[in-house]
Copies of this chain bind each other. A is one copy, B any other.
Amino acid sequence: MDCVFCQIIAGEIPTDIHYRDEEVIAFADINPVAPTHLLIIPRQHIPSLAHLPDDETPLIGHMVKIANQLARDEGISESGYRLVISSGQQGGQLIPHLHLHLIGGRQIEATLG
């Protein structure tokens, strides 16, 4: 198991966990780009969004639901936030385990990458 996110899920790396349930966990990004920068990831090792079967997209709905809840917990739901999923090399994905970024707490640039 050489996936760093799978190691976080397994509790093998000390991590600032903000949420966990049977399907997903959420934790602070180790290189935050904003005052709030959390990652929501599935426990299942799915290498990227492109690898997610069409019939498993409800998992993304659940990940977004948790992101919205965390945005409220963080007090940024009304001020504003951004969700980002990068898939594959040209998408700028760095860790090959599906993850959803939640960023907020400052003015996010209009640029999309």
Q: Which of B54, B61, B112 contacts A58 (CB 8 A)?
A: B61
Contact with B along A74-107 (1 / 0, CB 8 A): 0011111111111111111110000001011111
Q: Which of B61, B83, B91, B111 contacts A59 (CB 8 A)?
A: B61
Q: A108-B90, A113-B108 are in contact. Are A64 and B79 (CB under 8 A)?
A: no
Q: In the complex, which residue of chain B has the Cβ closest to the Cβ of A81?
A: B91
Q: In the bound complex, do residue A80 and residue B84 qualify as a contact, i.e. CB atoms below 8 Å apart? A: no
**A89 contacts across to B, CB distance below 8 A:** 79-80
Q: Which of B52, B58, B92, B108 contacts A108 (CB 8 A)?
A: B92
Q: In the bound complex, do residue B113 and residue A112 qualify as a contact, i.e. CB atoms below 8 Å apart? A: yes
Whole-angstrom distance from the CB of A112 to the nearest CB of chain B? 5
**A38 contacts across to B, CB distance below 8 A:** none
Contact with B along A7-28 (1 / 0, CB 8 A): 0000000000000000000000
Whole-angstrom distance from the CB of A61 to the nearest CB of chain B? 3
